Amino acid sequence: MTRPSASAEIDAPLEVVWQVMLDTEAYGDWNPFVVRAETPLPAAVGNPILLHVRWADGKGTKSPERITAIDPPRTDCDGTTTACLSYVYEGLPSKLGLVRGTRHQRLTQLAEGPTNYETVEIFSGPLVRLAGPGRVADGFRRHAAALKQRAEELARR
> Is 145 in a helix, a strand, or coil?
helix
**How many percent of the chain have pLDDT more than 90?**
92
Residues in the chain: 157
Q: Kind of pairing, strands 60-75 and 48-54?
A: antiparallel
pLDDT in tens, 111-155: 889 999 999 999 999 999 988 999 999 999 999 999 999 999 999
Q: How far apart are CA 152 and CA 17, in angstroms?
A: 8
Residue 155 CA to chain centroid, in angstroms?
20
Rounded to the nearest integer, the mean pLDDT of the chain is: 96
Q: How far apart are CA 81 and CA 70, in angstroms?
A: 14
Q: Domain residues of the chain, as ranges?
A: 5-23+68-156
Do residues 68 and 86 touch, judged by C-beta distance below 8 A? yes
